[in-house]
Amino acid sequence: MQTSLSLEQRAIGAYLGLAVGDALGATTEFLTPNEIRERYDVHNRIIGGGWLHLKPGQVTDDTGMSLALGESILEQGGVKAVPVARAFSDWMRGKPVDIGHTVRRGIVHFRDSGVPCVPENEFDAGNGACMRCLPVAIAYWNAPSAELVEASRIQSHVTHNNPQADAGTEAMLAMLVAAFRGEPLSTLHTIALNLVEQQRIYRFDRRAVENPSGWIVETLQVVFQAFFAHDNLESVLIDVVNRGGDADTTGAIAGMLAGACYGVEAIPRRWLKALDRQVRLACEQQALALLELARTAEWGRTGLACTDGDEDMPDPSTR
Ligand code: MG
Ligand code: MG
């Protein structure tokens, strides 16, 4: 952990880490490690392609949904359920390059019912809520943990309402916040181990997970294994994206975590240069704006910044 980094370097590093991880991993998404080795030997360049036929530097839903969530947080001064659901619905209307099945179902549920929360479902343990959690971590980095958790559940349950997904996402948020606070790596390791303590299925000390699915457990096992095995952002990201599977999302989550720990200067220049310029600017601006919100917000004092949004619930008949 770099202890001399500023909060700004960490927040921007996390946001750009998310975007470069997404752009890098999209090339190898749904490939197996063997297929990746045959095609690229080691995949370490942002070249686009992949099953989505992306342009070099183009990002996917992981970054797109994060930016949509961040915009809503900035507009509302916090995480509010209906505005977040509307932001996701607007994002989907913009015809994103990809969208997960559970995310689509949750957004359709909101459009049909006006309710910004899906019923609890044992099959909703996908990584879709975790992949977009970064703006919550930045806006609430200095908030009491109860408010961070409440904000996390509000944004998560628009599409994913599942205890396994909640626990994984909340552990990731706690790790991000610890990094923003300049805590040592041992603190982040303890947070990961606490998750395993709560839910043994998250154990990540066994064989290396390859070809991870979109299941939050496999996603975080890959991220933890790579993050704790290397001491720099570049190696962490190359490790996860060469394991294939849901590589854009393991890339996005590993990228936000490593970026929060090692700062924006740790991101290879060639990756930043390759990243879509508009995306890069949006990530930088949003990271700073969310930090400003955190600075001025009165988390823990008013209790108003984070609500379930019921007060402005839309009338379903009007949509
Ligand atoms: Mg994606
Ligand atoms: Mg993915």
What domains does the chain contain, in order, with CATH numbers?
A: 7-298 (1.10.4080.10)
In sign, the C-alpha dihedral spanning 214, 217, 218, 224 is positive
125 CA → ligand 2 middle, Å: 14
177 CA → ligand 2 middle, Å: 24
52 CA → ligand 1 middle, Å: 9
98 CA → ligand 1 middle, Å: 6
291 CA → ligand 1 middle, Å: 25
- CB atoms inside a 10 Å sphere around CB 122: 8
Least distant ligand from the CA of 241: 2
Q: How many helices (H) and strands (E) does the chain have?
A: 14, 0
130 CA → ligand 1 middle, Å: 12
Strand partners, 126: 215
Which amino acid, 34? N
Structure tokens belonging to residue 264: 């924006």
Structure tokens belonging to residue 126: 């996908």
Q: What Rg do the C-alpha atoms of the chain give, in angstroms? A: 18
From the list 238, 223, 247, 192, the residue with the least C-alpha distance to 50 is: 247
Q: Using CA atoms in the order 268, 250, 192, 181, what is the torsion angle rounded to 10 degrees?
A: 40
H or E, element range at 199: none
For residue 130, the SS3 value is: coil
7 CA → ligand 2 middle, Å: 28
Instruction: Give the pTM.
Output: 0.94
19 close to 63: Cβ distance less than 8 angstroms = yes
Separation between Cα atoms, residue 68 and residue 38, nearest integer Å: 36
Separation between Cα atoms, residue 43 and residue 46, nearest integer Å: 9
99 CA → ligand 2 middle, Å: 9
For residue 215, the SS3 value is: strand
Per-position pLDDT tens, the chain of length 319: 667 899 999 999 999 999 999 999 999 999 999 999 999 999 999 999 999 999 999 999 999 999 999 999 999 999 999 999 999 999 999 999 999 999 999 999 999 999 999 999 998 999 999 999 999 999 999 999 999 999 999 999 999 999 999 999 999 999 999 999 999 999 999 999 999 999 999 999 999 999 999 999 999 999 999 999 999 999 999 999 999 999 999 999 999 999 999 999 999 999 999 999 999 999 999 999 999 999 999 887 654 443 444 444 443 333 3
280 CA → ligand 2 middle, Å: 19
165 close to 181: Cβ distance less than 8 angstroms = no
58 CA → ligand 2 middle, Å: 14
Least distant ligand from the CA of 64: 1
297 CA → ligand 2 middle, Å: 33
Least distant ligand from the CA of 218: 2
pLDDT digits (tens, 9 = 90+) for 284-298: 999 999 999 999 998
pLDDT for res 249: 98
104 CA → ligand 2 middle, Å: 14
60 CA → ligand 1 middle, Å: 4
Phi-psi label, residue 287: left if phi above 0, alpha if psi -120 to 50, beta otherwise: alpha
249 CA → ligand 2 middle, Å: 4
144 CA → ligand 2 middle, Å: 31
Structure tokens belonging to residue 172: 């990731």
248 CA → ligand 2 middle, Å: 5
218 CA → ligand 1 middle, Å: 16
74 close to 286: Cβ distance less than 8 angstroms = yes
Separation between Cα atoms, residue 217 and residue 286, nearest integer Å: 28
Residues near 88 by beta carbon (within 8 Å), at least 6 away in sequence: 65, 68, 69, 103, 106, 107, 110, 158, 159
In the numeric block, the tokens 């342009």 are attached to 55
From the list 180, 220, 178, 182, the residue with the least C-alpha distance to 198 is: 220
